[in-house]
Structure 1
Amino acid sequence: MTNLVVITGLLALLVNDGCGFEYFQERIPNGDRVPHPCKPNYMWHGVGHRNSEGGVNRNEFGRDFKEAGFQWSRDLCMKDSDGDGLTNGQELGDPNCEWTRGQHPKVQTNITHPGVCGPWGSDTCRNRNSWISCDEKKLDCPAVNETDVRRVTLRLPPTAVPAKETSYFCMIFELPTDGDFHMVATQPVLDNRHVMHHILLFGCDESGETSSTPAPYECGMVPHPKCIYIIGTWTLGSPGDCMHSGAGFRIGRRGFRIAALQLHWNNPHEKATYSDSSGITLYYSAALRQFDAAMFAVGQEWIEIKPQSDNVTVTSVCPADCTSDMFKTNLYITRAINHMHYLGKSQKIELYRGGKKVRDITNDLSFNYDSPVIYKFEPPIEVLAGDEIRTTCVFQSKYNSETIYFGEGTADEMCYGFLTYYPRQNITIPFCTTWKSVARCRRHLPKFGGIVDGCKWRQLLDSKDPETLKLYGGIMSKCAGSQQTCEAECKSAVKEARSHVCLRGDIGDYIMWRQSKHAIGRQITSHLTKCYSADNLTADKLKRVNSSGGTIHKSLQLSKLVIGTPFLLLFRYSRR
């Protein structure tokens, strides 16, 4: 399950069965801010596991913590568990041993691990750190050794990593076209592990202009408007991917002939000295399997996690009236993976039929981004047209001082599920995500006629539409100069506008979010939220509406939040 033979949480708790408990991170200062010894730019986030040999990962701090009853105390604080000359309190940001559970530690920077002796390679620490191994788990996939399997490696040339926390770089490649092939496995080629966060390979639709690129380019979440079909993935904790024996991703003459490679670099210290040339190796065969495989994504594109919150639940539904139209035949899920970031606490994806739960597709009771659980199904899970797929993500932010939103950065959050299935369906956009309660499929499938909750939503985004011009024109003319005061005439215009079916509920929020992508739209959105709230809502509702409006504005001021996944995806494209 893990790819590091090392606990991926701070506390590999020393109970007899080797299980770790995520909630223990709350019982020590800075419990979710401890540096990972194998990945200098990453943190351990309070989850313990058995190692890959089935044994228990042990360290002296864990023993001392257990003896203290799994509680932070002055005695535990004053100990030097790892023997490197610093007390546990000094390493965890509580040098005076004053911290109590539920408080924010006074020191939240330069945190070190109280169970990892430093300097790492010194004579003093070598034996003390013998419990840690940073060896990676190897890909176990018999198909790669079959005699007819070929391989090709797609990777960036040595490229400077920008001195910023989050960067996406892409490069478009030509795939082998000297035959008809199924891709049966993928394996990462990792050059700079200090910055690599995830890799995606997108198959490209050649109906428009799509050609290989001579050099990498900064791309955001989407490498190219025509490259939206995920056919290869790698994320932290995964050794690679082995396809189901009955299906493969089609490449070559009758499949994808062009693919876009996307690398996500995480550089939280904004170093300017890093470079990287990572990529991915594809294993492919002319011995075709029975079915073409594809990947399908579900999840929520609106996330707002208030600081110091214990359980923030985010849900999304891929509804039955969408799957009945999207899936022309029954499909069979062979593989699934959850995707959140470091505030993720638990996640599950459930299959419903006729309003009744059929089964879990995934269920991570304790989610850990660094150790993803890859669910493989034999036999595959059958999904019928008209079934419903529900996604639930639970987050906690007890140590955060700011609200966290959906976004592409490691410090932002996501709530996605990625389902590999066969046979490949003729789905124009391969995901069924939601923005709040507004399902993307209902916005775009022809069967709904462009109407969501009675709203012709595209009309409200058309700057040339007469009704739209009249609606927004009244606000701009009557609210000019009343940004802060909301005079009576402005309130009246806003109230009239907000009575429009397209400016109510979640579809109204969605349209205002879309409008906020340009300067005039931001002015209109500001009036529609603030001036309407001031005259029509209770104090409690006013607070929530202003928060929502503020989120819309912030998401546009920070371009990384205007797009939307590991992972991932074409989310800028999905926002259409």
Structure 2
Amino acid sequence: MGGGNRNAFGLAFDANGKVWNSRLCNADSDNDGKTNGVELGDPNCVWTEGAVPEITSGLSHPGVCEPWDSERCLAHNQWEFCDREVFSCPAMDATEDLKGGESDVRTKFATPTLCGMDTGCTNLITGWGPGLPGQCFSERAAFRIGKHGYKYAVMQMHWNNPELRSHYTDSSGLTLFYTPNLRPNDAGSFVVGQRYLDIKPGLESHTETAMASSSCTRKMLPYPIHILNNVLHMHYLGKSGYIDLRRNGNKLKTLGRDDVFSYDSPVQHVHDPPIEFLPGDEVFVSCTFDSRSKSETTYYGYDTSAEMCYGFFQYYPVIGNLTSMLNYKDVELCFNWGPRGGGEGLIVGGCSLTNAVIQSFSMKVMAKCSMTGDVCQPECKEMVKETRLNDECMGNEDVFGLVKVLSEGEPRLENIWRAFESCDDEIKMDDVLTRLILSLV
């Protein structure tokens, strides 16, 4: 699906007019001593489009010099993310009592667990991706651990394996450094972003936006904070983007602009000195996507084949409930809601969403549908049709989608959504058959 700069073979293929011929076949684009044809299973340069190559196993990459760590290849495999300097953090290096090593794994998280993006934890401490050397915290602030701070952490590892291969292994990990030498402030993190994306295929440029409004930040910030750093996050359709800080309706400062965004080489925008962020200020996030590689609409999702539009921020001093200020279409999600929140109402599409509304809907689904979501029970199908026809709240597609976003991380409610949607395929098939019959009458 692309992403980042082209490798040596990609450049050679483009320069050759995107044509496979003997010239490109006999070239050695990555300088590893093997021709492109040999690496791709066409040593005699006879392959034509649509045909099966002469050799289909034991192949190698024509754009990556291999073996990767050989003396010959170390001089050629010099992409940007491999050229970064060794991780250095002056604030960390200046602390004599700095420690690092094996972490104490608590019983609760002793066994790796397959899960979604939500682990039940609400605070993001740090993150890493290809192209980032590491996370260096300021001497002004850090994350407190121990008796009066974080007592355990969960580490998520995200892999993308579209071919569903079973022989891949991974040995990457994370080293945390800590010190009893407390910083002046406790650090925190929050995210601003759009939770509903609809990116049509074949578009050279499509922009989605999100904003933490002045009314939201007045509600979430009891006092001024200072932004230490921020990073823009999209997936492989990401083309460019920026994050602006606004005050009194006017742009105060651009907190980060990525004119050429690359998922494989994210840019962390560090602010030294930190940027003051006042209650009533606004954060505006703009993400531009290029969907010309897609043949179907791309929606919001965790997979790299789906998309995101987020701005991640680290700041100080920490505010306990400041973790996210999100949008779902034009609705601003700037409050605590659901079983872990206060259950306050939200008016969307003429519907007043409260915990009581969700509980009533949940009871109806539990009584009619299979909670595993893998069987469509007849009574469930009729209940779903009736709900979507007559229920002004949960029958509204926008409201239903919004509630799913609000309830992320609640396993019981995730089962409810799965059960409610268990008959969707059959209902769609019924609709197709009905339209076909009507067209024949």
Considering the TM-score relative to the shorter chain, is it more than 0.5? yes
Q: CA RMSD in A?
A: 4.6
In structure 2, what is the Cα distance between the partners aligned to 1:529 and 1:512?
Answer: 21
CA–CA distance in structure 2, aligned partners of residues 533 and 382 of structure 1: 56
Task: Name 2:94's counterpart in structure 1.
Answer: 146
Residue 193 of structure 2 aligns to a residue whose secondary structure is strand
- Report deviation, 1:293: 1.1
Q: Percent identity?
A: 28
* Mapping of residues 176-191 of structure 1, within 5 Å: none
Aligned to 1:289: 183
Counterpart residue type for residue 506 of structure 1: D
Q: Which amino acid aligns with 1:430?
A: T
Question: 1:263 and 1:501, CA in 2 relative to 1: closer, same or farther beyond 3 A?
Answer: closer
The AA in structure 1 aligned to 2:147 is: R
Q: Which residue of 1 aligns with 2:254?
A: 360
Do the aligned partners of residues 530 and 128 (structure 1) sit closer, same or farther apart at CA in structure 2, a change above 3 Å counting? closer
Are the counterparts in 2 of residues 212 and 258 from structure 1 also a CA contact under 8 Å? no
Q: Which amino acid aligns with 1:276?
A: S
Given residue 34 of structure 2, which amino acid in structure 1 is its aligned partner? Answer: D
After superposition, the Cα gap between the structure-2 partners of 1:294 and 1:84, relative to the gap in structure 1 and judged at 3 Å, is: same
Q: Residue 416 of structure 1: CA displacement?
A: 1.9
Match of 1:131 in 2: 76
Distance 1:415 1:455, change over 3 A: same
Q: Secondary structure at the match of 1:421?
A: strand
Q: Which has the higher strand share?
A: 1
Matches within 5 A, 1:236-255: 236-255=130-149
Matched, 1:438 2:438: no
1:538 is aligned to none
Distance 1:353 1:517 in 2: 42
Say yes or no: does 1:84 pair with 2:34: yes
Kindly indicate whether the alpha-carbon contact (under 8 Å) linking 2:194 and 2:310 is maintained by their aligned counterparts in 1.
yes
Residue 215 and residue 505 in structure 1: after superposition, are their counterparts in 2 closer, same or farther (change >3 A)? closer
2:420 matches 1:521: yes
Structure 2 SS opposite 1:321:
helix
Aligned residue among 215, 234, 243 for 2:110: 215
Mapped pair 1:507 → 2:399: yes
Give the drift of 1:296. 0.9
1:457 aligns to 2:353 (yes or no)? yes
Q: Deviations over 1:544-570 (max 9, x none)?
A: xxxxxxxxxxxxxxxxxxxxxxxxxxx
Question: What is the identity, as a one-letter code, of the residue corresponding to 1:237?
Answer: G
Give the Cα–Cα distance (whole angstroms) in 2 for the partners of residues 275 and 90 of structure 1: 25
User: Is this contact kept in 1: 2:380–2:423, CA < 8 A?
Assistant: no
State the Cα distance separating 1:277 from its structure 2 match: 6.5
Question: Gaps spanning 5+ residues in structure 1: where?
Answer: 1-31, 34-44, 49-57, 100-104, 156-171, 174-210, 474-479, 536-576
Distance 1:152 1:469, change over 3 A: same
Deviations 1:494-513 (A, max 9, x none): 5443xx36655733542478
**What amino acid is aligned across from residue 463 of structure 1 in structure 2?**
S
Aligned equivalents of 2:25, 2:62: Cα separation in 1 = 11
- Deviation at residue 385 of structure 1 after TM alignment: 1.0
Once the two structures are superposed, residues 180-216 of structure 1 have per-residue CA deviations (whole angstroms, 9 ceiling, x without a partner) of: xxxxxxxxxxxxxxxxxxxxxxxxxxxxxxx544723
**1:443–1:451 Cα contact (<8 Å) kept:** no
* Equivalent position of 2:214 in the other structure: 320
Normalised TM-score (structure 1):
0.57
State the Cα distance separating 1:241 from its structure 2 match.
1.4
Q: Deviations over 1:387-421 (max 9, x none)?
A: 22222222223333454443333333322221011
The amino acid of 1:386's aligned partner reads: G
Aligned equivalent of 1:559: none
Q: Is residue 234–residue 263 contact of structure 2 (8 Å, CA) maintained in 1?
A: yes
Instruction: State the secondary structure of the residue aligned to 1:378.
Output: strand
- Matched residue SS, 1:315: strand
How many Å separate the matches in 2 of 1:136 and 1:217?
31
8 Å Cα contact 2:387-2:394 kept in structure 1: no
Task: Determine if contact 1:77/1:89 at 8 Å carries over to the other structure.
Answer: no
What are the within-5 Å matches in structure 2 for residues 471-482 of structure 1? none
Whole-Å separation in 1 of the counterparts to 2:380 and 2:173: 53
Conserved in 1, the CA contact under 8 Å of 2:91 and 2:138? Answer: no
1:78 and 1:89 in contact (8 A); partners too: no
Q: 1:147-167 CA deviation, whole Å, 9 max, x = no partner? A: 533213346xxxxxxxxxxxx
* 1:413 equivalent in structure 2: 307
Residue type matched to 2:399 in 1? I
* Correspondence 1:58-457 to 2 at 5 A: 62=11, 71-72=17-18, 77=24, 80-82=27-29, 84-86=34-36, 114-116=62-64, 127=72, 130-133=75-78, 134=82, 137-154=85-102, 173=105, 212-213=107-108, 215-221=110-116, 224-225=119-120, 227-267=121-161, 270-272=165-167, 274=169, 276=171, 278-286=173-181, 288-427=182-321, 430-442=323-335, 444=337, 449-453=344-348, 454-457=350-353
Shift of 1:457: 1.4
Q: Is the 8 A contact 2:244 2:284 kept in 1?
A: yes
Corresponding position of 1:53:
none
Whole-angstrom distance in 2 between the partners of 1:112 and 1:452: 56
